[in-house]
Structure 1
Amino acid sequence: MLEYITSALGLFASWEVILALVIGVVAGMAIGIIPGLGPSVGIALLIPITFSMSPQAALVMMTAMYTTGVYGGSITAVLCHTPGTAASAATTEDGYELAKKGRGMEAISVVTVASVVGGIIGALCLILFAPMLGKLSLRFSALEYFLIACFGLLVVSGLTGKNRAKGIFSALVGLLIGCVGMDSITGVSRFTFGQMWLEDGLDSTPILIGLFSIAQVLILVDRLITGRGNTIVDDPSKALTGKRWEKGNAKKLSPTMMRSSLIGSFVGFIPAAGCSIAAWISYSMAKRSSKNPEEFGKGSAVGIAASEAANNAACGGAMIPLFTLGIPGSPVTAILYGALLMHGLQPGSELFTGAKAPTTYAIFLGFMFANILMGIIGLTMAKQMAKVCLVPNSVLVPIIVALATIGTFALANSMYEVLIMLIFGVIGYLMKIYGFEPAPLVLGVVLADILEANFRRALLMASTKGGLFAYFLTRPVAIVIVLVILGFALIPVVNALMQRKKEKVA
Structure 2
Amino acid sequence: MFSGLLEGFQSFFTFDMILLTVVFVVGGYIVGFLPGLTATMAVAILVPLSFSLSAEQGLLILAAVFISAVQGGSVSAILWNTPGTPASAALCFDGYSLTKKGMAGRAIGMAQISAFCGLMVSWLFLVTLSPIIAKFALKFSAPEYFAISVFGLSVVAVLCSDSLLKGVISALLGVLTATIGMDPINGISRYTGDTLILMTGISYVPALIGLFAISEVFRNAGAIIENPAALTHKDGGGKISRILPTMEDIKYSIVTIFRSSLIGTFIGSLPGTGADIASFVSYGEAKRWAKNPDEFGKGDINGVAAPQAGANGVCGGAFIPMLTLGIPGDAVTAIILGALIIWGLQPGPNLFVESSRLVNTLFAGFFVASIVTLLVGLGLANLFVKIDRLPKKYLLPCIFLLCCVGSYAIQNSIFDVFVAFFFGIAGFILTRYGYQGSPFVLGMILGPMIEQNLRRSLIISNNDPLIFFTRPISLTFLFIAIMTFALSVRNQLKKGQI
What is the TM-score when the length of structure 2 is the normalising length? 0.67
Q: Could you tell which deviates more after superposition, 398-407 or 491-500?
A: 491-500
Q: Which amino acid aligns with 2:392?
A: N
Residue deviations 1:399-419 (CA, integer Å, cap 9, x gap): 221222222222222221211
Q: Which amino acid aligns with 1:407?
A: G
Query: Residues 67, 478 of structure 1: CA spacing in aligned structure 2 closer, same or farther, 3 A cutoff?
Result: same
- 8 A Cα contact 1:182 1:190, kept in partner: yes
Secondary structure of the 2:476 match is helix
Q: Which amino acid aligns with 1:373?
A: V
- Is 1:124 the counterpart of 2:132 in the alignment? no
- 8 A Cα contact 1:110 1:245, kept in partner: yes
Instruction: After TM superposition, list the pairs within 5 Å mapping 1:52-91 onto structure 2.
Output: 64-71=60-67, 74=70
Paired-residue identity, %: 23
Residue deviations 1:111-155 (CA, integer Å, cap 9, x gap): 976775565345434544555333201122222222222122223
Name the counterpart of 2:175: 175
Instruction: After TM superposition, list the pairs within 5 Å mapping 1:204-283 onto structure 2.
Output: 204-229=204-229, 231=231, 236-239=233-236, 254-262=258-266, 264=268, 277=272, 279=274
The alpha-carbon deviation at position 315 of structure 1 amounts to 3.2
- 8 A Cα contact 2:137 2:324, kept in partner: no
Name the counterpart of 1:342: none
Q: Which amino acid aligns with 1:195?
A: T
- 8 A Cα contact 2:45 2:213, kept in partner: no
- 8 A Cα contact 1:180 1:199, kept in partner: yes
Secondary structure of the 1:314 match is helix
Secondary structure of the 2:169 match is helix
Name the counterpart of 2:370: 371
Distance (whole Å) between structure 1 residues aligned to residue 483 and residue 121 of structure 2: 26
Alpha-carbon RMSD across the aligned residues, in angstroms, is 5.1
Name the counterpart of 1:297: none
Distance (whole Å) between structure 1 residues aligned to residue 365 and residue 216 of structure 2: 37
- 8 A Cα contact 2:130 2:324, kept in partner: yes
Query: Residues 12, 455 of structure 1: CA spacing in aligned structure 2 closer, same or farther, 3 A cutoff?
Result: closer
Residue deviations 1:440-477 (CA, integer Å, cap 9, x gap): 3333222222222221122222228xx331x3354222
Name the counterpart of 1:468: 465
Name the counterpart of 1:158: 159
- Is 1:23 the counterpart of 2:19 in the alignment? yes
Name the counterpart of 1:409: 408
- 8 A Cα contact 2:123 2:366, kept in partner: yes
- Is 1:483 the counterpart of 2:479 in the alignment? yes
Distance (whole Å) between structure 1 residues aligned to residue 164 and residue 359 of structure 2: 46
Instruction: After TM superposition, list the pairs within 5 Å mapping 1:297-446 onto structure 2.
Output: 306=310, 308-315=312-319, 318=322, 330=337, 348=353, 364-365=363-364, 367-381=366-380, 390-446=389-445
- 8 A Cα contact 1:36 1:205, kept in partner: yes
Query: Residues 196, 303 of structure 1: CA spacing in aligned structure 2 closer, same or farther, 3 A cutoff?
Result: farther
Distance (whole Å) between structure 2 residues aligned to residue 382 and residue 102 of structure 1: 14
- Is 1:36 the counterpart of 2:44 in the alignment? yes
Distance (whole Å) between structure 1 residues aligned to residue 118 and residue 214 of structure 2: 29
Name the counterpart of 2:292: none
- 8 A Cα contact 2:71 2:308, kept in partner: no
Query: Residues 27, 144 of structure 1: CA spacing in aligned structure 2 closer, same or farther, 3 A cutoff?
Result: farther
Secondary structure of the 2:135 match is helix
Distance (whole Å) between structure 2 residues aligned to residue 242 and residue 473 of structure 1: 62
Distance (whole Å) between structure 2 residues aligned to residue 188 and residue 39 of structure 1: 30
Unaligned runs of 5+ in 2: 32-41, 77-83, 289-302, 327-335, 346-350
Query: Residues 385, 486 of structure 1: CA spacing in aligned structure 2 closer, same or farther, 3 A cutoff?
Result: farther
The alpha-carbon deviation at position 360 of structure 1 amounts to 9.2
- 8 A Cα contact 2:126 2:317, kept in partner: no
Distance (whole Å) between structure 1 residues aligned to residue 454 and residue 280 of structure 2: 25
Name the counterpart of 1:135: 135
Residue deviations 1:71-105 (CA, integer Å, cap 9, x gap): 3565899999xxxxxxxxxx954547979x99799
Distance (whole Å) between structure 2 residues aligned to residue 249 and residue 207 of structure 1: 41
Secondary structure of the 2:161 match is coil
- 8 A Cα contact 1:39 1:65, kept in partner: no
Distance (whole Å) between structure 1 residues aligned to residue 190 and residue 213 of structure 2: 28
Distance (whole Å) between structure 2 residues aligned to residue 77 and residue 180 of structure 1: 37
Distance (whole Å) between structure 1 residues aligned to residue 420 and residue 68 of structure 2: 21
The alpha-carbon deviation at position 187 of structure 1 amounts to 1.2
Distance (whole Å) between structure 1 residues aligned to residue 491 and residue 360 of structure 2: 45
Name the counterpart of 1:341: none
The alpha-carbon deviation at position 22 of structure 1 amounts to 1.6
Query: Residues 237, 126 of structure 1: CA spacing in aligned structure 2 closer, same or farther, 3 A cutoff?
Result: closer
Distance (whole Å) between structure 2 residues aligned to residue 480 and residue 304 of structure 1: 32
Residue deviations 1:343-365 (CA, integer Å, cap 9, x gap): xxx964998xxxx9xx9978754
- 8 A Cα contact 1:116 1:371, kept in partner: yes
Distance (whole Å) between structure 2 residues aligned to residue 284 and residue 183 of structure 1: 40
Name the counterpart of 1:343: none
Q: Which amino acid aligns with 2:64?
A: T
Name the counterpart of 2:35: none
Query: Residues 212, 481 of structure 1: CA spacing in aligned structure 2 closer, same or farther, 3 A cutoff?
Result: same
Q: Could you tell which deviates more after superposition, 119-128 or 179-188?
A: 119-128
Query: Residues 361, 195 of structure 1: CA spacing in aligned structure 2 closer, same or farther, 3 A cutoff?
Result: closer
The alpha-carbon deviation at position 241 of structure 1 amounts to 8.3
Secondary structure of the 1:372 match is helix
- 8 A Cα contact 2:149 2:450, kept in partner: yes
Residue deviations 1:417-436 (CA, integer Å, cap 9, x gap): 21112122222222233343
